[in-house]
Structure 1
Amino acid sequence: MSDVLIGAEGVTKRFGAFTAVDSVSMDVNPGEIVGLLGANGAGKTTLIRILLGLALPTEGTVTAFGRTPDRTTRGRLGYVPQGLGLWQTLTVAENISFAAAAFDAEPPVLEPALDAVEHRLVGKIGLGLQRQLAFTIALAHHPELLVLDEPTSGVDPLSRARLWDAVHDQAEQGTGVLVTTHYMQEAQQCDRLILMSHGYAVAAGTEREIIGTTTAVEVDTPHWAEAFAALDQAGLPVTLNGTRVRLADTPPTTVHTALTDAGITATVHEVPATLEEKMTVIDRQPTPA
């Protein structure tokens, strides 16, 4: 436990009658990338705010670097919130100077793309450059823990890949990383995952551990649109992967019967489920009492 950078034990957060986070326990260790996954509204951002000491838990305990989160512990981490935390009416250089002064750090050397817009207002540069700037600022004081809340939301695939390269570079240097995302494919970038749904941590482990023995049924037919409509009409958990019709955690016989009843000729076979399909299965299960 002495290596834990940040952790929660039985954390619950209520807003009146609404429970945003319910009995969640988790931790992040040096040099590992922990992914906090879930749909919008799953409770990820609320949990992040509690871990950072920006909100108090209704129940449970939180520790950061072995103590209760406070101003001192926040000086040891880098944080990129969903809203990026940038001053839109200040220039790139002014944002950097402000953040460096706040953390008593030297202003970082800028990448060429940011250096080229150094004197432009942040509100006048693109979202990709804004995210790059926020990431640069978060790393300027060499944090021991990096917390990224939806860091790739709204950016192009190339920018997303570059950001993940930078995240892995930090982890290789011993920095712990906690990253939230609703992109299930980004799970493969993480060492360990925590899946959240409706405020609960519903699964934890590696991608393979979470998927476990869950399978999916794949439907082969040239009439994929009709097959999708028929299975959906039958109330089955059908999804599309390109033109491949898939159903998670559903017996092949059930799928075949529904297609036959609809007059659709198709071949069905079992395949390993994806993480997104596993999440669909979990979301269909009753939440803990």
Structure 2
Amino acid sequence: MADQDVLTRADRVTKRYGSLAAVDTVTMDVAAGEIVGLLGANGAGKTTLIRLLLGLTVPTEGAVTAFGRTPDRSTRQRLGYVPQGLGLWQTLTVAENVSFACAAFQAEPPTLEPGLAAVEHRLVSEIGLGLQRQLAFTIALAHHPELLVLDEPTSGVDPLARARLWDAVHDQADHGTGVLVTTHYMQEAQQCDRLILMSHGKAVAAGTEKEIIGDTTACEVDTPRWADTFAALDSAGLPVTLTGRRVRLADTTPDTVTHALAAAGVPGDVHQVAATLEEKMTVIDRATSPA
């Protein structure tokens, strides 16, 4: 992509806290009009990387740029940010939170959606989490940012609210806004144009969902005794998971699974299938875990 399209970039960035490298030589960027998903388990370094990109913390090594310069107060005026904690004043009303944020960004207060308008005079502490997340998102968009950074924006909200938020995210990207979003929901990862997987502070994979999964496969076991099957494979030390009542094992050969089931005296038909993104992440996380 052309440099003028890049809104934020990390170039071999490291952030250490004592002997811990919370972010370890990560290189990534977000361009105008694209949605980049940042995935990884808790403690993978996602939030620390976001804080580096926003200029809220300084890298130990490497360089971060926002809109072509070192992040500062002026670059933060050009982005919208929804942190995990939402960044709302719990002791102010909905309307007061909007007025405060818009004054800081010198923006006109937006027209509130009906759900928020109905509670605009209530304290934020008195409204539900779903409305609080909607409010935080509304505030982040009020000054028409060029870059939108969302840290777990849909955590704890119902599926309908998540779908509506993603509709809004796509609308922003369609109008040229770059979006960086972290999420634990694998179905939300499919909404992104590009993914970056983090594990133990490192960026360990990047690309589309299909590119990241590559030729990684999994085994699925057809059996009426799914609980016994799971227990037997788990006891054998294999990377077994349950999807509903489907027993699956990522990056494991059918022969290995068949032998483990035979040794435990548990029946089951084993067949090979394509791995899911979540299974690929598990495989990568095991491979990159410190010894």
What TM-score, normalized by structure 2, do the two folds share? 0.98
Which residue in 1 is equivalent to 2:189?
187
Matches within 5 A, 1:71-90: 71-90=73-92
Query: Is residue 2:140 matched to residue 1:138?
Result: yes
1:202 to 201, 204, 226: 204
Which residue in 1 is equivalent to 2:267?
265
Counterparts of 1:66 and 1:135 in 2: how far apart (Å)?
A: 25
Matches within 5 A, 1:118-133: 118-133=120-135
Which residue in 1 is equivalent to 2:281?
279
1:165 to 167, 177, 182: 167
**Count of residues in correspondence between the two structures:** 289
Partner SS state of residue 63, structure 1: strand
Unaligned runs of 5+ in 1: none
Which residue in 1 is equivalent to 2:19?
17
Counterparts of 2:96 and 2:267 in 1: how far apart (Å)?
A: 64
Partner SS state of residue 48, structure 1: helix
Q: Could you give the per-residue CA deviations for residues 193-242 of structure 1, whole angstroms, max 9, x where no partner exists?
A: 00001101010000000000000000000001000000000000000011
Partner SS state of residue 37, structure 2: strand
- Aligned residues of 1:81 and 1:149 also touching (Cα < 8 A): yes
Q: How far did residue 185 of structure 1 move? A: 2.1
Which residue in 2 is equivalent to 1:249?
251
Q: Could you give the per-residue CA deviations for residues 17-63 of structure 1, whole angstroms, max 9, x where no partner exists?
A: 11100000000001100000011111000000000000000000001
Which residue in 1 is equivalent to 2:236?
234
Moved over 6 A (4+): none
Q: How far did residue 184 of structure 1 move? A: 2.0
Counterparts of 1:147 and 1:174 in 2: how far apart (Å)?
A: 14
1:47 to 49, 57, 67: 49
Q: How far did residue 288 of structure 1 move? A: 8.6
Name the Cα RMSD after superposition: 1.0
Which residue in 1 is equivalent to 2:220?
218
Counterparts of 1:247 and 1:192 in 2: how far apart (Å)?
A: 26
Counterparts of 1:284 and 1:18 in 2: how far apart (Å)?
A: 19
Partner SS state of residue 22, structure 2: strand
Between the two proteins, what is the percent identity of the paired residues?
81
Unaligned runs of 5+ in 2: none
Which amino acid is the alignment partner of residue 263 of structure 1? G
- Aligned residues of 2:45 and 2:201 also touching (Cα < 8 A): yes
Q: Could you give the per-residue CA deviations for residues 126-170 of structure 1, whole angstroms, max 9, x where no partner exists?
A: 000000000000000000000000001111111111111110111
Q: How far did residue 287 of structure 1 move? A: 5.1
Partner SS state of residue 190, structure 2: helix
- Aligned residues of 1:217 and 1:271 also touching (Cα < 8 A): yes
Which residue in 1 is equivalent to 2:33?
31
Q: 1:2 to 1:162 in 2, by over 3 A?
A: same
- Aligned residues of 1:40 and 1:182 also touching (Cα < 8 A): no
- Aligned residues of 2:12 and 2:62 also touching (Cα < 8 A): yes
Counterparts of 1:204 and 1:92 in 2: how far apart (Å)?
A: 38
Counterparts of 1:20 and 1:112 in 2: how far apart (Å)?
A: 41
- Aligned residues of 1:128 and 1:159 also touching (Cα < 8 A): yes
Which residue in 1 is equivalent to 2:64?
62
Q: How far did residue 246 of structure 1 move? A: 0.2
Q: Could you give the per-residue CA deviations for residues 85-132 of structure 1, whole angstroms, max 9, x where no partner exists?
A: 000000000000000100000000000000000100001000000000
Query: Is residue 2:161 matched to residue 1:148?
Result: no
